[in-house]
Amino acid sequence: MVFYRLCGYLFDTRPKAGIHPTAIIHPEAEIADDVHVGPYAVIGRSRIGARTEIHAHVVIVDGCIIGERVVIEPNSCIGATGVAWIWSAQGERVILPQLGGVQIGDEVFWELM
């Protein structure tokens, strides 16, 4: 563990803070000053904590709360409508509304598998 911590100090691979010009950010989104937002990321009306890395092509929909020092890897989607439905007596699919939002705590690593 000491070796990896030492390497982390010697070779900082974190991307620089800033919002890529191709990113689309909702005007009411709350984003800390030292956040990295990669190319073609889309951020809805959400809150993003300090030192968070949002990589290329990530989508964060309205109502999400992302903590501090979170890493969201490319092509991830946070807060999308879930797959929740039931079948009516007539055999038709009825989509159930998704209540609430997504909250990700501090120091979380998220990648699309």
Contact indicator for 79, 64 with CB cutoff of 8 Å: yes
16 or 2: whose pLDDT is higher?
Answer: 16
Fold of domain 14-110: UDP N-Acetylglucosamine Acyltransferase; domain 1 (2.160.10)
The domain spans of the chain are: 14-110
Mean pLDDT, residues 49-74: 96
pTM for this entry: 0.78
For residue range 22-40, list pLDDT tens digits in order: 999 999 999 999 999 999 9
pLDDT at 113: 52
pLDDT level of residue 63 (50, 70, 90 thresholds): very high
